[in-house]
Every structure is written in C-alpha cells, then in structure tokens.
Amino acid sequence: MFEERPSERREQAVHEQLLRILRERFGYQHFRTGQEEILSALCQGSDVFSMMPTGSGKSLCYQLPGYLFKGLVLVVSPLLALMEDQVLSIRKLGEKKVRALNSLVHPHEKQRILQSLSRLRFLFISPEMLRKSDVIRALEGIQISLFVIDEAHCVSQWGYDFRPDYLHLLEVRRRIGNPQCLALTATAGQQIRADILARLGLSQARQFIYSADRPNIAIDIRETGSNQEKISDLLRLLRQVELPAIIYCASRDWSERLARVILEQAGLTSAFYHGGMETDDRMKIQNQFLQGDLPILCCTNAFGMGVNLPNVRLVVHFHYPSSIHAYLQEIGRAGRDGEQSLAVLYHTASDDQMPERLIENNYPSDARLVRTLYDLDQGALSVDKETAFSAALLEKGENETAVRFLLDQVKGKKESATYRSLLESCRQTIAKRRGRKLAELAEMRAWLTTNGCRRRAYLRLYDETLTNQPQWCCDHCGLSDELFQKRKQNQQSLPVLHWRDRLEMLLAVETPAASSASEHNANE
C-alpha cells in the first residue's frame, strides 16, 4: 500500500475542515457542484474567478471563508436590495458581525460601522461607497482576508449590466493591501470573462467555469398576435401553474398595468416593483415576496439580482430582454430548490421595437452629450457636486444609466484639458458599446426564432454542448400538460387595492390594544 503524501494529507485536512464548517455553521451535509473546488483554491491562497449558474450557491463560497480566514470578508455588491437580502440571510444563521454600507446608511451609522470594521466578519458595500476617501482610509487600517466581487459581470463594459463604478475596483484592491480576490458571476461569455479578468487584475486567478444550464427549468416560448392575447394567456397560466411567480416587463408602466390586471381579472394577489419607486417601498415589496405573502410580482429588471427565494416556480417574460445573458440570469431565479420550474416568454411583433429603444436610452443623445460638455466648461454644471449633476440631467429627461455613463466619462478629464475635448472619445465609446449591445440583441432574436432545441441553442453561445437532455426541456422538444398543473395551494382572492393601501393594511396596527411589539413591527 502506498504511503500517503504530505500534499494528500493537507488536502484531506482542508476537506474535513471545510465540511465541518459547512455542517456546523450552515447546516448542510454536502457541498453543491463547484463549491468545494472554489473553497479549496481559496484555502491554497489563489485568486479565483468563477461562473456558476444562478441558484447554485455562490454566496457560500464567500460566506464560509469568513469562519476560516482571519480578517474581514469585504463583499462588493451592486444593488441595495441585493445587499439587504445577503445581510439578512447571514443574520438568519446567527451571525451578528455583519453590516452593509451604502447610500441608505445614515452618516452617524456609517461612522460607527467604519470605527468597528476590525470587529466585523462580513461587510457588504456598494462600489460607489468604495470611492469615498474616508471609507478607503478605514479599510486601509484593517486586515481584509477576502475581497469579493459579486455579480462580476458588472465590471465588463460588454456585460449586460455594466456599472462604471466597478471599473475602479482594481485600484481599490491595491490601496487596501491587495487582499485575495474572489470574483463571481452567473452568466458571462468568453469576451465578458476576459474583460472581467483584465479589469480586476486576475491574470493568475484560478478559473472555475460551470455550465450555464439549469436543467430543472423548462423553456417555453409563446408567439402571440397582440398584447391582449399575451394578457389572456398569462391569466390562464397563472390560474394553472404553481406559484410564486416573477413576471418581467420592459417598462415600469407595464409592470404596474399587469399587477393591476392580475388583481382585477384573476383575483390573485400581485404587486409591482421597479426603479421608479421609493427605496423603502421597494424593500417592503421585496420582503413580502421573500416571506411568501406575495405570490406574484410584476417587475422590471431592477428586481431579482441575487434575491434568493428557493421555491419560485414560474418566471415569465412579458417582453423579451436584450441579451441571452440577461435572459438566463432572470429565469435562473426559478427553481433554486432544484424542483421542476417553468420559464415562459411571450413574443409578439410589436415587442421588437422595445429593446432597441432601451439600448438607445442607455446613452445620451449626441445633442445632450455636446450640451453637457459645454455646460461643464461654462460652469453651469460641475462634477464636484455629483448629486446636483445627476439631478440636473435627470430633470432634462436622461435616464439613470445614461447619467452614470456621462458622469464616468467626464470624471476622467485631465486637469489641463477642456470637457469639449472629450467629445470624440465619448462618441467612440458610445458607438462601440451600442454596437456590442445590438449584436447581443441580434443573438437573442436569432435564439427566439430557432427551429431546434432551445437549450442546445443557448448553450452553444457559451461553447457548451447539451449532454443530458432533461425530461421537460423546451417547447420545441415537447412539454407535457403535467408540467402546468397546479399542486394543492390555497390561493385567496383579495379585494382590489392599490399596492400602497395593501402595504398599509399589512403593516398597520390592527387594534388600539395592540402590543408595543406590534407597534415596532408596524413602523419597520
């Protein structure tokens, strides 16, 4: 019998330690695919980049090291709602040494968090907050064991959800002592992956790329003749299938309209969620959905990134997204518990104008670009006051994405140059990014019209082949009516109320004799 080598003994010791923490801290008996490989690489001191499908347990890959490494696990997260969900999920495990730092945090609370960083195990932070000098100074003074870039596709200018503030993370990492880095995303093609690695300085990182496929999600594309036909079929679907359901719309107006129609015509509890709502209202709606009080949520793509509700059974696209990457990210919110789930996409000819319009709106018009640069040179606008700069452009009708683009471009001006000198480089950047987005849109449209297996077709875009076809694959491969049958559920028809009125009913104190605890809950 061969003598066990020291490296094998070390690997076995690491395996046993990881498994012990997994069971004692997280209550799981076994790792999911990819988790232990990533954790083992981190234990060896490597930087790691991983693409794992939505719902595969990416968060464990940075949560577990918090109990293994000495120092703070710093997690960069792109959305306030996502941060809130991540913090709550860790606190449910009994962890108290976790905080979030973002624009919602009161200045006094921010200072308390910065002063207590050395006592924290996890800190979730927005990329915008990482550009604050006081935050960087505080982080420079403590030990950071792991620098985590969650939703790392936001780093890439070719990513479907590009965020300019993510471009500064390499500089931030260097300033805070160049800690070990873990970058995670659910969907990224080769070009996006290469861009992420380059922009985060991860040329030596170990890469773990897993299949983008979610075999427990059946794909159903339904061609319709009109929006009314879509609505009629959607109402039938919601009465048939098991819930909860997420319904994605291309606009805020459509999310509100569908929520109202579902309440009025199907008698099913529903609400809407979009970026135009107040942050507190969005949080309340999200929490209702996560707690199971809201079976149907009509939303824009502002909802869902990282939100973990295991038993979502249905994801509907009332309008199709502008890329396959976005589509897979969004349908991946279904069936995180591994149970059979369904993704339905409705398509009608009139939809084809919407994604192009959304792509155009992500960038300022040439006239707006020229005027903004002129106003900056004349002193009518100033990047020193970012809030005022953004507010002024939003008032003129620009959307938030276009404003972020402008702000990021003009902040790169050399001190000796004029803002007008940035015009051509801005035009070139807009043309390049718009061209890439339109190419992704063309891919999406080609996929919608494919004649073969839809799963095979989207996996080809990730250089994958389908090895094991699931029983319920796609509409072209055949879907049984069995998939659409609702299991035993007690769906209640509620009176038709505006979502604000329903929130007040849910959160209000019911009687004057209600306990003080109920009063506290009502005010949260």
Nearest to 258 by CA among 303, 228, 302: 228
Q: Which pLDDT value is given to residue 482? A: 66
Domain ranges of the chain: 6-209, 217-351+450-493, 362-440
Q: In CATH, what class is 6-209? A: alpha beta
CA distances from 408 to 166, 234, 377, 411, 426 (A): 11, 41, 16, 5, 10
Query: Is 523 a residue whose pLDDT tops 60?
Result: no
Map tokens 């048939």 to a residue: 240
Please tell me which residue, 119 or 160, carries the higher pLDDT value: 119
* 501: confidence class by pLDDT, cuts 50, 70, 90: low
Assess whether the region 6-209 and the region 217-351+450-493 belong to the same CATH fold: yes
Query: Is 268 a residue whose pLDDT tops 90?
Result: yes
Chain centroid to CA 223: how far? Answer: 28
CA atoms of 368 and 396, how far apart (whole Å): 9
Q: How many CB atoms lie within 10 A of CB 134?
A: 11
Q: Topology of domain 217-351+450-493, per CATH?
A: Rossmann fold (3.40.50)
Query: Is 436 a residue whose pLDDT tops 70?
Result: yes
Mean predicted lDDT score pLDDT of the chain: 85
Going edge to edge, which strands form the sheet with 48-51?
A: 98-101, 122-125, 72-76, 144-149, 181-185, 48-51, 206-209
* 37: confidence class by pLDDT, cuts 50, 70, 90: very high
Query: Is 73 a residue whose pLDDT tops 70?
Result: yes
